[in-house]
Amino acid sequence: MSRPATILIDVHLQKTPAEEHDASLQELRQLIETLRWDVVGTLTQKLQSPTAASLIGPGKLEQLSELVKAPYKAESVVFDHELTPTQVRNIREATGVGVYDRPAVILEIFHRHARTKEARLQVELARLKYLAPRESVSGAKERKGGGRGGRGVSESFHEIERREVRDRISALHRELKVVHREQAERRRHRDGLPKVAIVGYTNAGKSSVMRALTASEVLVADQLFATLDTTVRALQPETQPRILVSDTVGFIRNLPHDLVASFRSTLDEALDASLLLHIVDASDPALRSHIQVTKEVLEGIGAGKLRSLLILNKIDAVNISQKALLKKEFPEAIAMSALNPKDVEALRTRLVSLFLDDMAQVELVVPYGKEGVLAGIRKNMHVLSESYEDKGVCLKVNANSGTVTALKGRLAS
Ligand SMILES: Nc1nc2c(ncn2[C@@H]2O[C@H](COP(=O)(O)OP(=O)(O)OP(=O)(O)O)[C@@H](O)[C@H]2O)c(=O)[nH]1
Ligand SMILES: [Mg+2]
């Protein structure tokens, strides 16, 4: 199958350090590769500051319009920067092809990879919020240009479109609410069980670690954002009590805000964890910025303070000298390969001892009205005693501190 041709516009703003610029552009190429588009040409411009009308200067825009035509016959142009609705419109008018910025490319990948109902709803919501202003503005313009009416007509079209988008956004919010209620219900059944959430940059090997730890069949693929949903499985072979492991959507620099907001509930699974496994691709030269981005996203969703273990994954693809450097720089981290059963076994042993060896007697008070949580505790924790007091049900349980902290979070919410 032939791949759609696209042209990459490499705008280097003066304020961006060269290293950061290169890494971001390289990553954009990977994102485009995930879409299976073919980059047939690159247009470069160094700028002191972006041009309001079209990001690149008018001369460059003209050059781009020429480039889009023969011999490439490009169907789209891709910018690494976030474009304003006006810029998208102007560039589309000048070139006559699809205009994508980095968030739009990411949204397109999410759109293609969304499988479950929740992921599909969330992606549609994010797409409407991000793309609709860009689409409808140009849509109204095109209709006006098409001669199907005067200014008044195109404006009322625009109004109708805006209202339709608003209505659809409200409908999506309603549907998502139902899905999330069901999820909260399912989560309640897992209350009191130790939970490990796998988090990290996209393509770091999160699903590979998940697969290895839980003998599950979650999707592993050498693409960005292969995983969009949260999967929860028990650590294998099973322990008593069971230790749950979750795998979820990965992070990337400049993740569109609407996308983060839409995927909040997917990420809530991480918030609920007693321990985060922060997976890093140790063989990626940009690993430090990946760690930083992951930390920032975690802070952003309120999971910045959770206990976390740094995992330098793909260590099999790192040379000896680099390995030594990493060991020095991240002395606390666990270096491993998700593909090496011995490494996976060592990680499992570490998790088991973290959760099951430091069990202690703890007292918990479950306020009245939180019967769901209470049921979860009775089902999943080793309850030593129970009494009914004014403030709620007082329980003495055998548990480790991480699990209790996570549970207290649930009781407070
Ligand atoms: N060499 C090597 N490759 C690995 C290792 N772990 C994962 N991979 C490969 O890295 C790629 C991405 O792995 P995934 O497990 O899908 O990564 P992910 O973090 O879940 O990615 P997304 O869900 O797309 O964010 C796949 O091609 C894996 O086979 C490892 O330890 N060593
Ligand atoms: Mg994955």
The pLDDT tens digits for 329-373 are: 999 999 999 999 999 999 999 999 988 887 889 899 999 988 888
Ligand 1: does its nearest atom lie under 6 Å from the Cβ of 105?
A: no
Give yes or no on whether 5-100 and 191-357 have one common fold.
Answer: yes
Ligand 1: does its nearest atom lie under 6 Å from the Cβ of 220?
A: yes
* Domain 360-412 classification at class level: alpha beta
In tens, the pLDDT along 3-42 reads 999 999 999 999 999 988 999 999 999 999 999 999 999 9
Residue 144, pLDDT above cutoff 60: no
Question: pLDDT class for 147, splitting at 50, 70, 90?
Answer: very low
Residue 143, pLDDT above cutoff 50: no
Which protein residue has the closest C-alpha to ligand 1 atom 11?
Answer: 222
Mean pLDDT over residues 197-221, rounded?
Answer: 95
Q: Which of 146-155, 258-267, 284-293 has the lowest mean pLDDT?
A: 146-155
**Minimum-distance ligand 1 atom for the alpha carbon of 228:** 23
CATH topology of domain 5-100: Rossmann fold (3.40.50)
Residue 323, pLDDT above cutoff 90: yes
Residue 117, pLDDT above cutoff 80: yes
In tens, the pLDDT along 264-301 reads 777 887 788 989 999 999 999 999 999 999 999 999 88
Ligand 1: does its nearest atom lie under 6 Å from the Cβ of 205?
A: yes
pLDDT score for 359: 83
Cα distances (Å, whole numbers) of residue 228 to 33, 119, 218, 288: 18, 7, 11, 23
Mean pLDDT over residues 137-146, rounded?
Answer: 41
Please indicate whether residue 136 or residue 109 has the higher confidence score (pLDDT): 109
pLDDT score for 347: 98
Q: How far is the CA of 34 from the centre of ligand 2 (A)?
A: 14
Q: How far is the CA of 222 from the centre of ligand 1 (A)?
A: 6
Question: pLDDT class for 220, splitting at 50, 70, 90?
Answer: very high
Among the CATH numbers 3.40.50.300, 3.10.450.50, 3.90.105.10, 3.90.550.10, which is that of 191-357? 3.40.50.300
Ligand 1: does its nearest atom lie under 6 Å from the Cβ of 316?
A: yes
Q: Which of 83-92, 130-139, 169-178, 311-320 has the lowest mean pLDDT?
A: 130-139
Question: pLDDT class for 407, splitting at 50, 70, 90?
Answer: confident
Ligand 1: does its nearest atom lie under 6 Å from the Cβ of 231?
A: no
Ligand 1: does its nearest atom lie under 6 Å from the Cβ of 208?
A: yes
pLDDT score for 155: 57
Mean pLDDT over residues 129-145, rounded?
Answer: 58
pLDDT score for 309: 97
Q: Domain segments of the chain: what residues?
A: 5-100, 110-186, 191-357, 360-412
Q: How far is the CA of 295 from the centre of ligand 1 (A)?
A: 20
Mean pLDDT over residues 231-246, rounded?
Answer: 92
User: Average pLDDT over the chain, rounded to whole?
Assistant: 89
As residues whose CB is below 5 A from the ion ligand 2, the structure lists: 206-207, 226-227
pLDDT score for 156: 65
pLDDT score for 148: 40
Q: How far is the CA of 218 from the centre of ligand 2 (A)?
A: 8
